[in-house]
Amino acid sequence: MEKDLGFVRVAAATPAVRPADPAGNVRAIETCIFQAAAKGAAVIAFPELAVTGYTCGDLFKDRALMAAAEKSLFELIERTKDLEILCAVGMPVPSGGALYNCAAVFAKGRLLGLPAKQNIPVYSEFYEARHFSPAPESGVLRFHGAAYPAKDVVFALSEDVLVGAEICEDVWVADPPSVRLAKGGATVLLNLSCSDEIIGKAEYRRDMLRIHSGRLLAAYVYADSGFGESTTDMVFAGHDLICENGSLLKESELFTSGVICADVDVERLVQERRRMNTWRDGPACTVIPTGVALPDFETDRVMAPYPFVPNDDADLSERCETILRMQAAGLATRLRHIGAKTAALALSGGLDSTLALLVAVRAFDFLGLDRKGIHTVSMPCFGTTSRTKSNAQSLAEELGVSFAEIPIAASVTQHLSDIGHDLDTLDVTFENAQARERTQVVMDLANQLGGIVLGTGDLSELALGWATYNGDHMSMYAVNSSVPKTLVRYLVRHVARESGEALKQVLFDILATPVSPELLPPKDGEISQKTEDLVGPYALHDYFLYYMLRFGFTPRKIYAMALRSFAGAFDAETILKWLRVFYRRFFQQQFKRSCLPDGPKVGSVTLSPRGDFRMPSDAVSALWLEEIDRLGEENA
C-alpha cells in the first residue's frame, strides 16, 4: 500500500568484513540483503570495496584476489535473484589495463551497471591512486565478458524511484557526480564509502550529507565500512546515514554493524523539484530498468502532526522570535512608508487580535513611536462575554496602548431592522452584520486618527474562508495573514513566557479561552459558539493545508499520513469528516482570498494572490471530493 502513497524503503548496511576474504564477505553481505528485503526495502547500499574489504593494500594487484572477488560477486547475484531489491555493493573491477573502484549494481539475477569512482584520493593512507584509476572517459567498463555503464547512469524502479550511485570521495569534491545524477533524474542517491573515523568527523559528515540531500532535493543513502577492516593505522566506525531533502531520517550508532532502513517520500521529492522553478533537469543520464517490483510494506514513518511548529523547544523559541520580528518589520516598513504614526485594531480578547497587538507594539517600539498611537477598540455585541472583554482591556492596559469600548448592539439592531431582519433569526445575516459593523467602526476610527487598520485574521481562517467578506476579511495591513492558527498559539505563549507576571496571566487566560467569533448569544455567560465545533479542529486543518499546498499531496495520501500522525487523538472517521470539510471550504472560499489586503509572508505556505498561490475562484473541487468519497466507501 505504501508504495502507492509515494514512499519507498531504502537501506544502508555495514557488514562485518575481513580483508581479502571475498567468499566470507559476500556471505555477510548476503545476510544483510535478505534482512533488508524481509523488511520491505527496495534499495540497499553497501560500503566501498565491501566484497574484498577496503584495506587490502597492494593485494589489489593480485590476480587471484580479483578472480575470487568476481566469482563471489556473481554467486551473490545468483543467490539473491528472487528478491525484489536493488543492491549496490562495493567491488574492485579490473577492466583492460586498469583497476576501478566500483559500485556493482544488480537486481533480479542481473548485473546492471558498474558506476566507478570518479575522484581517486592521493592523500589516503592507503593511497588509492596507487591501485585504482578514475572512471574511464568512455563511461563503459568491460567485465565478466560484457560491457557495463560506469558513469552517468541511473537505475529505474519506477517512474519516480530512480537510483544513482557515487563512491566515497566523490561527494567531498566541489562538483560531485551526484549533482549530475540528480539532474539526470535520480531521486535516491547512494554513496558507497569507507571513511576512517577521527574526532569530529561524524558530525561534519552528518551535516554535509544532510545539506547535500537538501540542495539536490533527493534522498541520500550513505553506507560506511566498519568492523573487520584492518585497524593497522586507523579505525572505521560504520557510520551509516539516510537523509532526505535536508533532513536526517536514520543514522546508525558508531562502531556497529548491520542494516538501517528508512522510508523515503519520493513523491515529495518529485513535487519539490516541480515546485522550484530554479530546478533544471541536466544532461540525460542512461536509464536502466531494474525489473524490481516495489514491495508492499507498512511505513513506520510518522509525519509531525504540527508541521508549522518545530518539535524542539529551543528551535520553537527561536522560530517564534524570528516570526514576531518578521511581522513587526513588515508593519514597521508599511507605517514608515506611508508616514502613519497611528494604527487602529479591533481587540476581541481572542488569540488572533492578541497576536496582532503584540506585533504592533514591537513595530511601534522599533520605530520609536508612542505606544499610545495604537488604538485598540473593544466592540461588544450580542455574543461578547465578560471574559473576553475583560481580557481585551487588561491586555491593552498592560501593553500601554490606547483602549476604547464602543458597544455596537444598538447600531447592529438598527441596521437589521432597516433591512427587515428579525433579531430572533440567528443566521449568517445576523452574524455577519456584527462583523461588518465592527470593521466599519475601526475603519472610520483609523481615518479619524490618520492611521491604518491592522488585520487580525490568520492563515488557517483564510484557508477555510472563516471570515466575513468585507468584515474581518478586510484591513489595511494584515499582519497575521501567513501565520496558521496552530502557530498563533505558540507565538502568544512565547511572548507570555517572556513577560512580567501581570501580562503573563492575561496572555495565558487568552490562550485558555475557546476560539470563537462570539457572534451568537452566550449561554449562562459562557461562549456558546466554538469555532472548532463548527469547522473542525485547527490541528487537522493546518495539517491538511500544509501537505496539500506545500507538496501537492492527494487527499488519499494526506488521510493515510494523518491516521499515523494523529493516532490516539482523532479516529479515522473524524479525520475523514474534516478532510472533506477542508477541501470543500478551500475551493468554495477562494473568492475571499482573491482580494486580500497586504501582509508579510513568514513561512513556506501562504495564500496571498500576490505571493505564492494562484487559483481561480471558480476552480472545481470534484476531483478531490470524489477521492475522499472513495476513501469513505473503502472504510465503511
- Each residue of 475-518: pLDDT tens digit? 999 999 999 999 999 999 999 999 999 999 999 999 999 887 77
Q: Is the pLDDT of residue 530 over 80?
A: no
Is the pLDDT at 11 greater than 60, yes or no? yes
CB 93 within 8 A of CB 69: no
pLDDT of 531 > 90? The answer is no
Return the C-alpha cell found at 150.
Answer: 560506469
* Contact call for residues 594 and 474 (beta carbons, < 8 A): no
Q: How confident is the model at residue 370 (pLDDT cuts 50, 70, 90)?
A: very high
CATH number for 313-635 (one of 2.30.30.100, 1.10.1370.30, 3.40.50.620, 3.30.830.10): it is 3.40.50.620
User: How many angstroms separate the CA atoms of 589 and 469, rounded?
Assistant: 10
Give per-residue pLDDT as tens, 118-156. Answer: 999 876 555 688 899 999 999 999 999 999 999 999 999
Instruction: State the pLDDT at residue 3.
Output: 60
Average pLDDT, the chain: 94
Instruction: Return left, alpha or beta for 627; rule: phi > 0 is left, psi -120 to 50 is alpha, else beta.
Output: alpha
Query: Taking 80 as the threshold, does the pLDDT of residue 2 lie above it?
Result: no
Sequence ranges of the domains in the chain: 2-289, 313-635
Q: Over the stretch 27-53, which tens digit does the pLDDT of each residue have? A: 999 999 999 999 999 999 999 999 999
Find out whether 403 and 393 touch, Cβ atoms under 8 Å.
Answer: yes
Query: pTM for the complete prediction?
Result: 0.91
Question: What pLDDT, in 10s, does the model give residues 547-563?
Answer: 999 999 999 999 999 99
Catalytic positions:
48, 117, 168
Q: Is pLDDT at 406 greater than 70 in this prediction?
A: yes
| CATH top class, domain 2-289 | alpha beta
Alpha carbon 289 to its chain centroid, in Å, reads 30
Measured in residues, the chain has a length of 636
Would you place residue 71 in the very low, low, confident or very high pLDDT band (cuts 50, 70, 90)? very high
For residues 190-203, average pLDDT: 92
Specify whether the CB–CB gap between 331 and 360 falls below 8 A.
yes
**Long-range contacts at 324-327 (CB < 8 A, ≥ 24 apart):** 324/358, 324/359, 324/362, 324/491, 324/494, 324/495, 325/362, 326/600, 326/602, 327/359, 327/362, 327/479, 327/480, 327/483, 327/600, 327/602
* 326-338 pLDDT tens trace: 999 999 999 999 9
At 519, is the pLDDT very low, low, confident or very high (cuts 50, 70, 90)? confident
- pLDDT over 80 (residue 636): no
Assess contact for 161 and 154: CB atoms under 8 A. no
What's the pLDDT score for residue 186? 97
Q: What gap in Å lies between CA 126 and CA 193, rounded to an integer?
A: 14
The pLDDT, as a whole number, for residue 1 is 37
Among candidate residues 193, 239, 185, 241, the one with its CA nearest the CA of residue 216: 185
